[in-house]
Structure 1
């Protein structure tokens, strides 16, 4: 009986602790500073991908709800735009402070709905918070220009003004950080927003909104519309086509980005698109192989491969190919621990949904059927559930395989051999994607040549992690338009106004 009482006591304490940590779990949408239901009162479930259990049900909003949210944001913009940069900075700083204070609670929400390990969720919160801190400072450094005039009695002024309501559409892989990276920037610029989070991970957005509310963000500046996959197209159409919207900020797949870009074109609206990637990870003969393998683990298996900047194609010089592949396989075997995100020691959680799980397994099966060889993984860990895919290493990958040309977005690394720098560049650039790329070399001249010739918006030399609040994050070609983070990330949400001051000699 004593053992039974002890067990019950421990379970009860664990339950109470989990309840306290989930106090940021909101069950309603957030519009005009209030927690609201949809007009239809219809709800949809948010599930835990590790076991398919329902976490909660939230409002399934439609086009009418979205129009209302956009109008609220448009009305609020008329006053928010006139707040001082100092005031916006103060509010963002307070939001940052509250997110820092509630970091563990935010991480619990992220893990519950996305499945990622708690250690990664904590990392995401720290990363997301860094944007609020950065933009709190940046708000006071959005400067204009005075240009030397060609006329003796006139002066040319360029000022940056907020462009209005921003429609923010965010993905499921970093559900908190993608909110702060976008909303922190647009608020610093003086804009308001309507956020439509992924239907798979809306709770992180609502938790962020709750902390923004506590921080004193004025009602109507941030609005969160929640919708199921069924209603997402109608909601997205309003967010792109409503005349009150000045910009669409989207992170997600290239396919969806093109659709939103087309909708935005009807109103000639500004877009900030951070789309898919197909990142090369290039290892030259001079590289420190142990370091390259360490960084490969970060570049590939962070968030179980579900990252737009995740390395897809590992291009290894023929002189070090066997050594790299051997070390990489060993590291995957020892470091990739698959399981539910709440379990101690787990480094790789489930894929976010069945659709994603089928896509990843389909790409591997296609590659194997065309001659690729599996050195590690290559199958579902069915004993854990239906969305746990083993960390996988493939060799003998060829350009005619789908896995070579498509973004994997899962825990699958493909290794290819190259002979020289020119061949590595040809293979790396043979994609319409142009987001991130990684190069490992001790040759300084080679590092600069690769940086110049790689057709990607971001190049990391001897590092597998390149994202932070300070640099300008973004891609070229079909990987997007615009930049996030840095001062450039704020300027995306401003228009340049030219004012000519004349008659100064009268």
Structure 2
């Protein structure tokens, strides 16, 4: 595209973003220093105003005040707010998904899937509102009852990343609200418009059901805004999604003030392909996990550990599949791979591919830039790189569509390779041998361990998160709600005596 045509296209995208915000009920923001850009063209969608330190302080104050009354609302009644949010998400799924595509560059199917994930987690939270179970246990003292109860924690600060600009927010917010917490959300500075849209829908839901809209606050801006949120003692829980470097900064600051952290950080996910694998199934699972979202998922497949007897066949099949991937404008039909989020991501990808070659690797296919929509948009062909060993480069996470291919001879070796990276988010094995599958499930040190599917595409029913440098947090399903509440052990004496525990006699 010529400069003039690209500029015109960017203006069209900007107009579309304004129209989508209006259809979602959000006011078009006033111009400011924070620019919402689209990776589709690299152009500015809308300029808006970043939050100041005073804005962050005020937002936390409003959330802390709202918590005092919100915590006393019965959990099933709190769920009415989440139920109404789910209804609004259903009604506006297409518009919100398109806004996700404009800001994050996801293809339509993935963007719609992300909004569906929001709806699903709302449904999970609604059911959870009647299942915030404590436990009772026998007391050693006669006439006493011993039990544990769960209570709202306070203000939850949520810091989310660009690659799932709305789903991760909903994981935290739907569950936190049902648990009786209030929320202050800082979206990625790369995706501020989806943040504005979701905040608007939630406040509308609150007004529709008679809940206090102040239970949710939105702050926008760069790392300084996040730092203000992280350092405030009124924020009981900081749930942060992003890089390992970000987590290494957040965790000590929160710990220093004895707050709580829920961290979802990097992933360097591997799939093992065993000799017994259904190769056709494996190819489909590998391609989606490695190339989906242009390799910009925390669960994207980055390492492929293939049995030596199968590697040549599998590489040939994957090369054929990669050659057929349609890279292009995610708003167009038939596109499977959209753009990288920005130039920085492209530079990191090219640097990693150069290092791979310097370390004796072979770039089998992909890696080149696809010139589609001007100089400020960065489209690339997903890359396959055969590596002689698991080097320092392979142990790092590059947030781009690079799949490093390694070989193994026995399963213990493959599991050791899977585990020999700092991150521990997602892993998978393709095998029809049940013994191999069970050995892998027991041996992988990741928070997510799959059999005969790829590393990405988690359902909301299971707790999502990982170990080691991934941060140890768990969000979404299972008992992840416990992160958003505090536990109290209660002893009730309904006797006329005052016996002490452990049989102690005093006085």
Report the TM-score when normalising by structure 2.
0.90
Q: Distance in 2 between matches of 1:18 and 1:432?
A: 39
Q: Which residue of 2 aligns with 1:415?
A: 405
Q: Deviation per CA, 1:310-349: give whole Å up to 9, x if none.
A: 1110000011111111111111111x21112112211111
Instruction: Tell whether 2:417 aligns with 1:391.
Output: no
Correspondence for 1:500: 491
* Residue 10 of structure 1: aligned partner: none
**More moved, 101-110 vs 294-303:** 294-303
CA distance in 2, matches of 1:362, 1:17: 35
Correspondent of 1:182 among 172, 175, 178 = 172
Separation of aligned partners in 1, 2:321 and 2:432: 22
Measure the CA separation in 2 of the matches of 1:280 and 1:14: 37
Q: Find the counterpart in structure 2 of residue 380 from structure 1.
A: 369
- State the alpha-carbon separation in 2 of the partners of residues 425 and 153 from structure 1: 53
Q: Return the alpha-carbon distance in structure 2 between the equivalents of residues 96 and 397 of structure 1.
A: 49
- Equivalent position SS for 1:481: coil
Change (3 A) 1:25 1:171: farther
| SS of equivalent residue, structure 1 residue 361 | helix
Structure 1 counterpart of 2:505: none
Mapped pair 1:338 → 2:327: yes
Partner of 2:479: 488
Q: 1:425 to 1:88 in 2, by over 3 A?
A: same
Report deviation, 1:370.
2.3
- What is the CA distance between 1:504 and its match in structure 2? 2.8
Q: Determine if the alignment matches structure 1 residue 361 to structure 2 residue 350.
A: yes
1:348 aligns with 2:342: no
Question: Which deviations, in whole Å up to 9, do the C-alpha atoms of 1:341-379 show, x marking residues without a partner?
Answer: 112211111111121121112111111222211121122
Superposed displacement of residue 258, structure 1:
1.1
SS at match of 2:213: coil
What displacement does 1:15 show?
Answer: 11
User: 1:450 is paired with a residue of what secondary structure?
Assistant: helix
Name 2:143's counterpart in structure 1. Answer: 153
Shift, 1:153, TM fit? 2.2
Which residue in 1 is equivalent to 2:219? Answer: 225
The CA deviation at 1:27 is: 5.5
CA distance in 2, matches of 1:197, 1:163: 22
Q: 2:313 aligns with which of 323, 332, 348?
A: 323
Judged with a 3 Å threshold, the aligned counterparts in structure 2 of structure 1 residues 314 and 27 are, in CA distance, closer, same or farther, namely farther
Task: Report if aligned partners of 1:25, 1:109 keep a CA contact under 8 Å in 2.
Answer: no
TM-score for the superposition, normalised by structure 1: 0.91
Offset of 1:427 from its aligned partner?
Answer: 1.1
Moved more, 145-154 or 13-22: 13-22
**CA RMSD in angstroms, aligned pairs only:** 2.0
SS in 2 for 1:422: helix
Secondary structure at the residue paired with 1:223? strand
* Pair 24,431 (structure 1): closer, same or farther in 2 beyond 3 Å: same
Distance in 2 (alpha carbons) for counterparts of 1:44 and 1:442: 51
The aligned runs of 1:102-501 (5 Å cut-off) are 102-216=92-206, 217-227=211-221, 229=222, 232-233=223-224, 235-334=225-324, 336-385=325-374, 386-402=377-393, 404-464=394-454, 465-501=456-492
Q: Distance in 1 between the 2:13 and 2:315 partners?
A: 42
Aligned residue runs from structure 1 range 3-22, under 5 A = 20-22=19-21
| SS class of match (2:385) | strand
Per the alignment, in what secondary structure is the counterpart of residue 452 of structure 1?
Answer: helix
Is the 1:96–1:129 contact (alpha carbons within 8 Å) kept by the matching residues of 2?
A: yes
